[in-house]
Amino acid sequence: MTPALAFRDFVGVAKRNLLRSVRTPGLLLYALQPIMLLLLFRYILAGAIKVPGGTYVDFVVPAIFLVSVLVGAMTSAIGMAEDLESGLIDRFRSLPMARSAVLTGRSLTDAIRSVVVLAIMVVLGVAVGFRFDSDTGRIALGMVLILAFGYAFCWMNAAIGIAVKDPESATNAGTGPTFLLLFASNAIVPISTLPGWLQGFARNQPLSVTVSAVRALFEGGNAAHDVWLSLAWSAGIAIAFFVISYSLYKRAAAT
Amino acid sequence: MSPSNNTAASKSVPDRTAGAPLDQAATDHVVEVRDLVKTFGKLRALDGVTFSAERGTVLGLLGPNGAGKSTLVRILTTLLRPDSGVARVAGLDVVADGQRLRSLIGLTGQSAAVDELLTGRENLELVGLWYHLPKREYRRRAQETLDLLALADAADRLVKTYSGGMRRRLDIGASLIANPPILFLDEPTTGLDPRSRNELWRLVRERVGAGAAVLLTTQYMEEAEQLADRIVVIDKGTVIADGTADQLKARTGGATLEARVTKPSDLERAVAVLGDLSPTPPRSDAEQRQVSIPAGEGTDLLLDTGRRFQEAGIPLDDLGIRRPTLDEVFLSLTGRSHGDAEPSSAEVAP
């Protein structure tokens, strides 16, 4: 298998998944959940939550951006499980195509979808009162961090999808880790308001690190440490779950 | 991918033409299976299977549900690894040479492996791309295949609007798109109406005529008989018979000629008429008003019998030759009935 052929296989898989995406209402549905969260936190809970030095809308909206790509990443699990269940993966595996293409092609589609969802969320975020207080370079870097984090989670969800092999379970299994990271974090409330035993985890887990980095990039403040930490987390998660997904995929039907 | 695969994979691409002969001149056995074992937990799905198939022929794998047919196909198409034994396709080991082997095979599995949210054409073109055909080539082949399978009118509709038969045809089209020299069809006609089934049989014969080898699994004796040059009967993970349809049927006692008289009172005269034509005494069944003898001679015997009944003035409700059913083949090979097949009426009658 030459790299050129493997790349062609990968483009083919990405094209297939994109065609599927635009032909299902799924894309809109997955934007709907983050939109609901945005409205919930902006208009219902904003009055009840106090954050030091700034408005709640500027505090929570960067976190909602991140949540939107995580929710989008959950479709990776569902997509993989659907393919496995339908017998399509058997066809793919019986073809001379590069075995990595099914996985990498899916992750490219997921990345493109993340960009679309994030763009929608940024527009809506600004519409409900969020303001960037930063320069273009820092804003762009913040977006890159969000997309990188979402991309890493696509790989985690792909592994979940291959492991559970049915779309229903994949939906549920993907929800757990995402919600744990979202609520035990600095995304919605300041860490200092969490119970003491949870603060250590909440402060250092990857989503909190990324939220801190993105907030600093969008609203000013020293971001460098958290930016590097976030990128390291995203790279680590992506690589680890790529390896896991690939080995699960190779064995998926082979036992 | 290891570097050693590079040359092989790219070499096999450009010279792919209809029914291209295999480069592996070393062997006439396009499929070679020896002592193959595969277990799933405690279940021995394959328990030492040995057989081979030649190029330009159809090998029918006949057996009931759960016999191990699909497991065998999945191993030969590199979807499953065997526990032990040897399986070679086109001279290539299914475990060691999987990547090269996959460019030489086409698989249509039991569950339709087509994408509902793509059109028929998109499905085929993508599979062509993944076979590493050049773009112009896979576009042309997709159109040809759609024409061939009578799907041209529906080519640009989403597959989710297709009927079951159309999906099945598209699925089979996907395995034909690159003209692979070896085709694996796992129960390809399950769920097809008779017209689509005959169409598929025609396609298979055409591919074989062009030099391809086909391995097909089926639960139907008729299908194996229509298509297969050789039939391997498997049951409980082992080969219990291997031969041509005629050889297998000979082992079951072959076809029988059956005559059903209109009036019960004619039964004894009918026995006398048929007795002259058969070396063994006819079997008679009073309830069914039916007499039967082994039908070695086929058509001649049928004509002869008809004439004699006419001369004797015995009115008949029915006269015909009945081929052995899979159930009967099974009964004679294993001494037990095969679960899914309905016993024929002649046999349930006391």
B298 falls in which pLDDT band (50, 70, 90)?
low
Q: What is the pLDDT of residues B102-157, one digit of tens each?
A: 999 999 987 778 999 999 999 999 999 999 999 999 999 999 999 988 899 999 99
Among A152-156, B108-112, B327-331, the minimum mean pLDDT is found in: B327-331
| pLDDT tens, position by position, A102-150 | 889 988 888 888 998 899 999 999 999 999 998 999 999 999 999 999 9
Partner A contacted by B129 (CB < 8 A)? yes
Q: Both tokens of residue B321?
A: 């030759």
Tokens of A189: 């409330």
User: Mean of the pLDDT values across residues B312-326?
Assistant: 83
Q: Is A5 a member of any domain?
A: no
For chain B, percent of residues with pLDDT exceeding 70: 85
Name the residue facing A90 among B81, B102, B109 (closest C-beta): B109
**Cα gap A28→A9, rounded to integer Å:** 28
Please report whether residue A9 resides in a domain. Answer: no
User: Does the residue A7 lie in any domain?
Assistant: no
What would the DSSP string read from start to end of chain A? --HHHHHHHHHHHHHHHHHHHHTSTHHHHHHHHHHHHHHIIIIIITTT---SSS-HHHHHHHHHHHHHHHHHHHHHHHHHHHHHHHTHHHHHHHSSS-TTHHHHHHHHHHHHHHHHHHHHHHHHHHHTT----S-HHHHHHHHHHHHHHHHHHHHHHHHHHHHH-SHHHHHHHHHHHHHHHHHSSSSSS-GGGS-HHHHHHHHHSHHHHHHHHHHHHHH-S--HHHHHHHHHHHHHHHHHHHHHHHHHHHHTT--
CA–CA separation, B278 and B298 (whole Å): 12
Task: Give pLDDT tens digits for A217-251.
Answer: 998 888 899 999 999 999 999 999 999 999 988 87
* Most confident of the ranges A177-181, B21-25, B29-33, B218-222: B29-33
- Quick one: pLDDT at residue A27? 61
- pLDDT tens per residue, range B164-208: 888 988 998 999 999 999 999 998 888 778 888 888 888 889 889
* A17: in domain: no
Beta carbons within 8 Å of B206's beta carbon, 6+ residues apart? none
Q: What is the domain range of residue A226?
A: 26-44+55-251
The CATH fold of domain B4-249? Rossmann fold (3.40.50)
**pLDDT number for residue B272:** 86
Cβ within 8 Å of B, A 154-213: none
pLDDT of residue A49: 83
By Cβ distance, the residue of B80, B115, B130 closest to A95 is B130
Asked if residue A216 lies in contact with residue A186, where contact means CB atoms within 8 angstroms, the answer is no
pLDDT at residue number B9: 41
The answer, for A247 touching chain B at a CB cutoff of 8 Å, is: no
> A222 in contact with B at a CB cutoff of 8 Å?
no
Tell whether the torsion through CA atoms of B328, B333, B336 and B341 is positive or negative.
negative
- CATH code of B253-348, in short, is 3.30.70.100
DSSP annotation of B26: T
Q: Is the minimum CB–CB distance between B130 and chain A shorter than 8 Å?
A: yes
Q: How many domains in chain A?
A: 1
Inspect the interface and report whether the beta carbons of B78 and A88 lie closer than 8 Å: no
Residues above pLDDT 70, as percent of chain A: 97
pLDDT single digits (tens) A42-66: 888 888 888 887 889 999 999 999 9
What ipTM, to 2 d.p.?
0.82
Q: Indicate the SS3 state at residue B8.
A: helix
* pLDDT at residue B281, as a whole number: 84
Q: How many angstroms separate the CA atoms of B89 and B91, rounded?
A: 5
Asked if B177 has any chain A CB less than 8 Å from its own CB, the reply is: no
Instruction: Decide if A66 is inside a domain.
Output: yes
What are the domain boundaries of chain B? 4-249, 253-348
In whole angstroms, give the CA distance from residue A239 to residue A245. Answer: 10
Report yes or no: A26 at the B interface, CB cutoff 8 Å.
Answer: no
Contact state of B118 with A95 under an 8 Å Cβ cutoff: no
